[in-house]
Structure formats: C-alpha cells, structure tokens
Amino acid sequence: LEAGTMTGLQCVKYLVFVFNFLFWLAGSGVLAVGLWLRFDSRTSGLMDVQDSPSVFVTGVYILIAAGALMMIVGFLGCCGAIKESPCMLGLFFVCLLLIFAVEVAAGIWGFLSNLNNVINALLFYKQTFSNYKSTGQEALKEALRIIHFGLNCCGPTGTEGTRDMCPKKEGMDILVTTSCPSAIDEMFNNRQHIIGGVGIGVGVITIFGMIFSMILCCAIKRSRDFV
C-alpha cells in the first residue's frame, strides 16, 4: 500500500510540475510581449507623448503585470511540487483561485461591456488620428500605421490616409479603401468567440491546476502519515 501511495504521489507531483512549467512559460511569453510593446522603438515613443491614448498605455502595463504574476505563480507551483511543500502548494492554490475569480469577473464584465469596448476602440482610433493631424507627432503616426496595416484599413473614412501610412490592395498599386472604424467594428464582432474560447481554455487550465495541487497536498499528507 505504501509503495502504491508513493507511486501515485510521484505521478501527481510531476503532473503538477509540468503544468506549472507550461504556466510559467506562458507567463514569460505574455511578459515578453508587454516588454516588447513598451520598449520597442516603433511603439515606445507612444508611451511618452502627451496625447498618448490611454487604452494602449493601460493595455501594455496590464500585459506586463499579468505576465509577471503568471511567472510567479508558476514558479511557486514548480517549487511546491518538487519540494513537496504543502505551504507553497497552498499558496499556489490560493493564487490560482484568485486568478480564476478575476477571470470570471473579467469575462462577465467583458461580455456585458462589449459594446463599450467597441466604442472605446473607435474613440481611441479617432482621437489618435485627430491628434496626429493636429500635432504631426511621429509616435502617433507610427501608431496609426500599425493599426492601418494590422486591420488592412486606411483612415476614418477609407480615403484620408497617406501612402506611407496605409497598406495597398493585394497585387495592386492603390491603397485600400476600407475605413478603420468599420474594420474595428468587424474585428470585435468576428473575434468574440475566439476571445471567449481563449478565456474558457485558460479557466479550464486554472481549474485543473487547482485540482492537481489539492490532490498533491493530500497525497503528501498521506505519505507523511504513513511515515
């Protein structure tokens, strides 16, 4: 019986370790993207100008904070599993529970406020375009260029962009004529299911992490009771 308990303990321990290592890697990726957006020469200027859109700045810092938190939680889980520490595993469980609660709250809020998100994105774009027209700041121009090429659109009406700011139609030497407000609206409407799927996937992974950590804690306690 004791040998079977130890074998089960080892299996659960390595499952928890692998899960947390993947969680740590995911956090590293999120943090890397946030830092890249913060310090890359094409976007870092947008963080420092007076008229920087708050949506972009806030989003970058949220990515950095979320990535750092995921790395810390993953590290706690890895160490707790390898060292068979109920204290670290308990802290890991509490962190995952908090993350799961935030995910649920954010999911409900995001579902209920999707219209506001679209409106904010449209205001963000129009504000950026208006500020660039008024000030001519290079950072704002680069931000608009990223949006134009990312969404394959050109200006608020589809005709106000310049050749160095807008993409061309495929195989042609003329600029695209899709307006950016309509492209932003289409992006939000067409990708809601993708965002929801990612959120559900992260939630399921978080639940499994909590279950594995509880199982490992119980297995460690049982093994120590046998000793």
Question: What pLDDT was estimated at residue 72?
Answer: 86
Q: What pTM did the predictor assign?
A: 0.57
Which has more confidence, 107 or 99? 99
6 pLDDT exceeds 60?
A: no
What DSSP string runs through the chain? -HHHHHHHHHHHHHHHHHHHHHHHHHHHHHHHHHHHHHH-TTTHHHHHSTT--HHHHHHHHHHHHHHHHHHHHHHHHHHHHHHT-HHHHHHHHHHHHHHHHHHHHHHHHHHHTHHHHHHHHHHHHHHHHHHHHHH--HHHHHHHHHHHHHHT--TTTSSS--TTTSPBPTTSSSB----HHHHHHHHHHHSHHHHHHHHHHHHHHHHHHHHHHHHHHHHHHHHHHH-
107 pLDDT exceeds 70?
A: no
Question: What pLDDT was estimated at residue 226?
Answer: 53
Q: How confident is the model at residue 1 (pLDDT cuts 50, 70, 90)?
A: very low
Which has more confidence, 2 or 130? 130
135 pLDDT exceeds 60?
A: yes
pLDDT digits (tens, 9 = 90+) for 17-33: 888 888 788 778 878 87
Share of the chain above pLDDT 70, in %: 71
pLDDT digits (tens, 9 = 90+) for 172-214: 878 888 898 888 888 766 656 655 665 676 677 777 777 877 8
Q: How confident is the model at residue 170 (pLDDT cuts 50, 70, 90)?
A: confident
